[in-house]
Structure 1
Amino acid sequence: MARAKTLPGDAPDLLSVDRSAMQPLAERMRPRTLDQMVGQRRLLAPGSALRRAVESGHVHSMILWGPPGCGKTTLALLLARYADAQFKAISAVLSGLPEVRQVLAEAAHRFAEGRRTVLFVDEVHRFNKGQQDAFLPHIERGTILFVGATTENPSFELNSALLSRCRVHVMEAVAATDIAQALRHALEDETRGLGGQGLKVSEQALLQIAGAADGDVRRALTLLEIAAELALDEGGQITEATLVQVLADRTRRFDKGGEQFYDQISALHKSVRSSNPDSALYWLTRMLDGGCDRAYLARRLTRMAIEDIGLADPRAQQMALEAWDIYERLGSPEGELALAQLVLYLASTAKSNAGYAAFNLAKADVRESGTQEVPMHLRNAPTRLMKGLGYGAGYQYDHEAEGGIALDQTGFPDALGERVYYAPVERGLEIKLKQKLDALRAARAQARAEKGKP
């Protein structure tokens, strides 16, 4: 295994002991080798392509896509260290194009002297297209090894020119068991961690902190540091009472307009469609917990009632509207129960997308067939002139026909002929609709055949 090299300009290695002590625990415990990183086994497993590239120092420009606290910044630092390159970091939130140009000019000067630069751009999705384009020629010439970090889907947030020059690596939220390992390391490390404080903490307490961090190693170390400070007043013991204080206001990861948002609403919709009320309720609760707009949820649930349940259970549409109205009247948290009960009903009742599919077929016919004339027998004839022109001629009044239906009478333009869009499923109310329509369509086809009509 290649030995991690000292990184020129790497702040953690050059800080004095006193200044280092002022840093947060999460920064002090930042891994200095690949072996010290927790999680990301798929990406950094021994023998993996990325790990071999990093250890050999032959790294490439890349985009690191993953949730907060999964190790994006740490991995970028390690890339620079193993490649014996200068590490420079900018934030797309704080930096503008002038600063980007300055950093790139410095990297070009360094490149001319035979030194490489790893340029880490945090929150790269915050840069607009013009700002992203500024990196392109420097990536192509090798002036910089570009490492962009983002919590958003690169397919949507980064322009294609930048993506074509970078490899996208997906990083995952760190499992609680791996986070607990990082916490143990911090408790044992006497140089950078909390090892010299004589802290006492149970394994169960560590797992509680790891779970509360919600996949974020940095957050877990911050929670541990706060708990350690409180424990100093309790003889160094991190007790259950300590954890109650530290974890009281914890929140879960949820981006109201980002990738997680769309993934979770997709999971809710597909759970309803799969008739799994338990998982549907779970995803609804996750979105409520994350602060999702309740009116948006009510609107999406109403869509599910129309699209995925349809005429198999028409009551679902009415229930959706009623739940929406109840929430608007009661607000949170009482009105959320109406949404929860609606989800349970939608997921439990019969499903059919036959109406949705029929509508799409009809729309396709309308687009492809153009403007077809209404058949004469279906036209309205309110004036004598229109009657004289044949409007309404040959129309059969269904109530006067045998069985209440004029079987040989078409409702389509002549150029189209008869069409079948709606195919009821054998679930819920549509069982009866299917039986009726199947018999009616067969009788209509026979009657038209007897009269030589298509």
Structure 2
Amino acid sequence: MSELFDAPAALKPLAERMRPRMLDDMVGQRRLVAPGNALRRAIESGNVHSMILWGPPGCGKTTLALLLAQYADAEFVAISAVLSGLPQVRQVLAEAETRFAGGRRTVLFVDEVHRFNKVQQDAFLPHIERGTIVFVGATTENPSFELNSALLSRCRVHVLEAVSQEDIVAAMQRALDDAERGLGGRGLRIDAANLASIAQAADGDVRRALTLLEIAAELAEGEGGEISAATLSQVLADRTRRFDKQGEQFYDQISALHKSVRSSNPDAALYWLCRMLDGGCDPIYLARRITRMAVEDIGLADPRALPMAIDAWNTYDRLGSPEGELALAQIVIYLASTAKSNAVYAAYNAARADVAQLGTQDVPLHLRNAPTRLMKELGYGKAYQYDHDADGGIALDQTGFPDAMGERVYYDPPARGLEIKLKDKLDALRAARRAAREGKA
């Protein structure tokens, strides 16, 4: 059955056929593999180390691992954390030990390494320490969150970036010119604008760009060899942007949306909202997060923000997509444009901190409920002043806090939005209460 895995090159996808054979052939990642850089010097010397390659799809993680094994004259073995379990891992490691005993190293490439659980990740540790394998893990997720600390401590993390459009165009042009492995010699024609369109649609992914180019080339061969805009309209019709609904990009983008609202930038906020909707984010999740923004970052500076956020949420529930998404866009623009205050949020956190730190404080006697004679005889409710009967409607010398705590100030509204009036009132009231307590003392 081995002949199934030794398929002729012509049967392989263009992206696989055009995989770089030398470091100089790689596009992008100049920060890592430019001449003179530390990683490049290590690879060229064959003095390679175990590493984690963290970057988006199609940025060159597999290619870099292959080149690492080539320059080190080591056996290259690849497994996928999606398809392999612990028995397969143990078998690969046993084979690597046998190879190591015979004087040959193994570069073990683990794709999607973040999909392995802690036990599976721990299986590599002794082999990395002994040098049985040079471990190369590839992940699109933040290693700090997805990989255990023991594995991270034995590997160096290298961050790869999405490949620029210019570099993707260069990779496609190389494929068009290469008659041996690429599309050269077929009489294909494509102008610079259409090549740039494919690069833009690839969204930083070289593999995706070459796949799109190969599909376009197949269509063009039946149309005189020209890859025209009409041809690309078919190939690029369903393109999508990078977005992982549970990955780091998801949380980075919701963070960008929230912070754009907070910084009163409605244009940026609208952009990130559209990015997330375009990537397939659940609009109900967005509605929930937007409602949180209304209470966390707008608060009482504009009390209309919260009911408006709830109304937008309800509107989406009633209309669905795509009409309901306009309601989300409307509330995002409003929240970003209106006055901001986190005074309620800060006050709530300060009060919670006191509750956690000070333990169970007794309710002052004058604030306690006194439904029975015994309770009244024990002083429950004694000396309570009914505020509506006091001058000005407020009993100024009456505290609302436990006796051991004394008065506290949690809510400190800024002089912004509607909280200006609240600030003026509370500042005057707190000053009057202090004066009343001092006079009573």
Matches within 5 A, 1:366-385: 366-385=355-374
* Residue of structure 2 equivalent to 1:301: 290
1:261 aligns with 2:257: no
Secondary structure at the aligned position of 1:87 is classed as strand
Q: Distance in 1 between matches of 2:36 and 2:437?
A: 72
* Residue of structure 1 equivalent to 2:333: 344
* Residue of structure 2 equivalent to 1:449: 438
Following superposition, the deviation at residue 382 of structure 1 comes to: 2.4
Following superposition, the deviation at residue 385 of structure 1 comes to: 2.6
1:48 aligns with 2:69: no
Query: Unaligned 5+ residue runs, structure 1?
Result: 1-13
Distance of aligned partners of 1:189 and 1:248 in 2 relative to their CA distance in 1, 3 Å threshold: same
Q: Distance in 1 between matches of 2:126 and 2:6?
A: 40
Q: Distance in 2 between matches of 1:44 and 1:429?
A: 56
2:166 pairs with 157, 177, 180, which one?
Answer: 177
1:101 pairs with 90, 107, 119, which one?
Answer: 90
* Residue of structure 2 equivalent to 1:142: 131
Following superposition, the deviation at residue 46 of structure 1 comes to: 2.1
Cα deviation 1:357-399 (Å, max 9, x = unaligned): 0011111111111111111111222233322222221111111
Matches within 5 A, 1:156-305: 156-305=145-294
* Residue of structure 2 equivalent to 1:5: none
Q: How many residues are aligned here?
A: 439
Q: Distance in 2 between matches of 1:145 and 1:163?
A: 14
Counterpart amino acid of residue 245 in structure 1: Q
Counterpart amino acid of residue 54 in structure 1: I
Give the ranges of 4+ consecutive aligned residues of structure 1 lying more than 4 Å apart after TM superposition. Answer: 14-18
Q: Distance in 2 between matches of 1:242 and 1:143?
A: 50
* Residue of structure 1 equivalent to 2:74: 85
Q: Distance in 1 between matches of 2:187 and 2:260?
A: 49
TM-score (norm 2): 0.97
Cα deviation 1:218-251 (Å, max 9, x = unaligned): 0000000111111111211111100101100111
1:399 pairs with 388, 392, 399, which one?
Answer: 388
Following superposition, the deviation at residue 285 of structure 1 comes to: 0.7
Cα deviation 1:59-78 (Å, max 9, x = unaligned): 10001111110100000000
Q: Distance in 2 between matches of 1:16 and 1:125?
A: 27
* Residue of structure 2 equivalent to 1:8: none
TM-score (norm 1): 0.94
Give % identity: 79
Following superposition, the deviation at residue 45 of structure 1 comes to: 2.2
Counterpart amino acid of residue 415 in structure 2: E
* Residue of structure 1 equivalent to 2:421: 432
Q: Distance in 2 between matches of 1:408 and 1:16?
A: 87
Counterpart amino acid of residue 201 in structure 2: A
Cα deviation 1:112-162 (Å, max 9, x = unaligned): 111111111111111121111111111111011010111111112111111
Counterpart amino acid of residue 168 in structure 2: I
Following superposition, the deviation at residue 16 of structure 1 comes to: 12
2:65 pairs with 57, 69, 76, which one?
Answer: 76
Cα deviation 1:255-291 (Å, max 9, x = unaligned): 1111111111111111111111111111111111111
* Residue of structure 1 equivalent to 2:315: 326
Q: Distance in 1 between matches of 2:360 and 2:91?
A: 61
